[in-house]
Structure 1
Amino acid sequence: MINTLMIFHFTKDAALQNWHVVDDSVMGGVSAGKLGVNDEGHGMFQGHVSLYNNGGFSSIKYTAGNTELKGYSKFVIVLKGDGKAYQFRVKTISSQDYSYIFNFTTTNNWQTLEIPFISMVPSFRGQTLDMANFPGDYLEEIGFLIGNKKAEDFKLAIDNISVQ
């Protein structure tokens, strides 16, 4: 039997208060993302990435509290994208400057991504850091980012995020 810990499961009545949109407006850009729940109960991260005024990304992040991950080895994410590339991002401590990232490309169908902790690379503002990959002991924040160096609309449906 596989041991699974649910980090977040979107439903029609899911509470989204611990989810936050962070767009390039923090640096003067004008990209606009939003997060909501659709009629089927899936999280919908959607919007437009703009390159205007040195912009180029939109992201969402979820504050998960101090979640212990000992005994688990991978993230499992059920989602449906739009054929575009995204990043899944994790922080062991919400206040740290860098994130551990995993790049993936979506299809127009539902997918189950399995992301081994060891595959998550430390990164700060697009630069890989010279330090160990995600240790997988604790988690305080997860998120998704789109920033493909082009202006584009995007739409990412998320069903759930867990660890196994």
Structure 2
Amino acid sequence: MAQWDLGRFVQTLEYFEAIPVVSWLQNMFQPRPKPLTSNETVLFDFNDSATDLKNTWGALDDVVMGGVSNSGIRLEGGVAVFTGNVSIENSGGFASVRTRNFDPPLDLSNRSGVELRIKGDGNRYKFLIRDSDGWDSTGYSYSFDTVAGEWMTIQIPFAQTVPVFRAKTVLNARLATEHLRSFQLMLSKFEYDGALNPRFNPGTFRLEILSIAAY
């Protein structure tokens, strides 16, 4: 049985500023993600050599709940590649990458949603949006299927996102599109409220992302 990795758990908390003293130091000495204004269409262009992936996107896997899944994101051939191994050992079953909180928050109140240009591996993924500062907070989720090896454009209407907290739906929640704080991409064995992802298979995965835009 794979062993839980305490070091990776602490690294995750540090990156997402969940440890107060570390968060204070990071705010002083590390650059914060600065997405484009809402007047711009493309929020992330991973074909742009100026993309600061290291200080913007980080892994947030089931290690935070005792699991052993492992993922990461890197630039490769003009795209961002979200890849790794998702395991159901230790009651785990999800891997994800997420932005640190945008500073200032992103105002997309004049847009309908977010559009991804992606190439997947046949898995069903989730895209989550948060409007809260907390790293463990309600996310607004949208599930989408991929076709192995094919480039696809995925539109995510704000109005069709599902408010969730740890894969359980949250009643009477509304996404504050004028105050968006972070984005997240996830592969999970869980859908919502105990239902399972019908296309989930544990093991290695790969999702390529060319861009994230508003529409």
TM-score, structure 1 as length reference: 0.91
Q: 1:7 to 1:103 in 2, by over 3 A?
A: same
Q: Which amino acid aligns with 2:162?
A: V
Residue 60 of structure 1: which of 83, 91, 97 is its match? 97
- Of structures 1 and 2, the one scoring higher in RCO (CA 8 A, sep 6+) is 1
Q: Which amino acid aligns with 1:89?
A: L
Number of the residue aligned with 2:111: 72
Task: Check whether the contact 2:68–2:89 (CA below 8 A) recurs between aligned residues.
Answer: yes
- Equivalent residue runs for 1:11-160 within 5 Å: 11=47, 13=49, 14-16=51-53, 17-38=55-76, 40-63=77-100, 64-65=102-103, 66-95=105-134, 97-108=137-148, 109-148=150-189, 150-160=201-211
Q: Which amino acid aligns with 2:114?
A: F
Matches of 2:40 and 2:116 in 1, distance apart? Answer: 12
Task: Check whether the contact 2:85–2:203 (CA below 8 A) recurs between aligned residues.
Answer: yes
Give the secondary-structure state (helix, strand or coil) at the position aligned to 2:156: strand
Residue 8 of structure 1: which of 39, 44, 52 is its match? 44
Number of the residue aligned with 1:162: 213
Give the secondary-structure state (helix, strand or coil) at the position aligned to 2:181: strand
Give the secondary-structure state (helix, strand or coil) at the position aligned to 1:11: coil
Matches of 1:70 and 1:147 in 2, distance apart? Answer: 29
Q: CA RMSD in A?
A: 1.6
Q: Which amino acid aligns with 2:93?
A: G
Matches of 2:43 and 2:176 in 1, distance apart? Answer: 17
TM-score, structure 2 as length reference: 0.70
How much has 1:128 moved relative to structure 2?
0.8
Q: Which amino acid aligns with 2:205?
A: F
Equivalences, count: 161
How much has 1:152 moved relative to structure 2?
2.2
